[in-house]
Amino acid sequence: MGASAGGDRPDPLPLAGVRVVEFVHMVMGPTCGLILADLGAEVIKVEPVAGDNTRRLAGAGAGFFVAFNRNKKSLAVDVKSAEGRAVVARLLAGADVVTENFRPGAMARLGLDYEGVRALRPDVVYCSLKGFMPGPYEHRPALDEVVQMMGGLAYMTGPPGRPLRAGSSVNDIMGGTFAVIAILAALRERDATGRGQRVGSALFETNVLLVAQHMMQYAVLGTAPEPMPNRISAWAIYDVFDTRDGEQLFVGVVTDTQWKVFCDHFGLDDLYADPTLRTNPMRVAARPRLLPAVRELFAGRTQAELIGACESIGLPYAPITRPEELFDDPHLNAPGGMLDITIPGNGGTRVPALPLELSGRRPGLRLDVPRLGEHSEALLRELGYGDDAIADLAARGIVALDPQGTP
């Protein structure tokens, strides 16, 4: 499909001219490459001739590949063969950045760890995205679930005794984002010194940063934080409420000013006049008697009526939305908010753009989600391989070429 809003920018994107070679799968590594690619870098995804296994995930993983691999090129090559590694060596000699998120030691066994790549490109920025940063746990395998369980996030999310992972790959996505920050910092340093370096990010440390607010609650108050469903809220009205039409709505009243407009709009003069509810800490202490009254009030109104009320008086609110409903969200469908992509072999759809602006515009689509080996032939030619050599490598399964031809 064609490029959507942002893809025809008249000005070059900030990372134009930066070549990134990624050896990644699943979510964390691809997220890093996605952000770099959306910001203008040429990101080349090196994947096996049979394809990145992420392409074939089912269930909750079925959307991983199309969500995190737009704006990239696909080079399908057997890096376990000597000839495949020779192809990759030529590619790496021109790489500004290399990223990898395989198990510890996997890249070293292929000669593609930092030392191996630095021998080909001395000023390379080499980023490893792992489960753990250096320390006693660094050789452990990790998953988002693993670090959520051991890092306190699952404990805080679920009700007491029922740890529950967050409903998204939060550490993978944020870990990939922190990797981008490290890469950009290293590129900035290389501009000043001419030297590359090895950088990294990790799932566990990302998770612990997310939980730091709860750690600091303990440090400040000396009491252990309660899981979110059982916690004492920081605000009196900060909850999900049932409405008359069987829907639900989250509403927050988080300042004394909002408390006044809330009471004024809904005719709660007696509550506003109550001296025991004058300040937010007082209202938090009074939640056992305050919340039932608010629940009864909201249960007599439809969700639409409450949304209109909250909108008119400036209260934070949110309907409880399912992921599939977001495709029709009018705000997301404002110009630049969603990008038109093609699911290889399965037609077109839209995917959220990066949540950032550059000169008032969202980064758009320059390259669709790549078909397996879609760019192998063009990249091999660029690396100096002729027709006969390319045909021979393909015939022997060293590389895979896109059967639909390179556009």
- The CA distance from 43 to 37, in Å, is 6
Single-letter residue type at 254: V
Active site residues: 172
Q: Which of 233, 230, 248 is nearest to 301 (CA)?
A: 248
Cα dihedral sign, 130-134-138-142: negative
Q: How far is CA 134 from CA 24, 104, 137, 205, 403, in A?
A: 20, 11, 7, 10, 43
Cα dihedral 353/357/359/360 (nearest 10): 80
Cα dihedral sign, 120-126-131-135: positive
**Residue 214: left (phi > 0), alpha (psi -120 to 50), or beta?**
alpha
Contacts of 306 (CB under 8 A, 6+ apart): 241, 243, 249, 251, 298, 317
Helix pair angle (170-193, 203-221), 10° resolution: 100
Contacts of 134 (CB under 8 A, 6+ apart): none
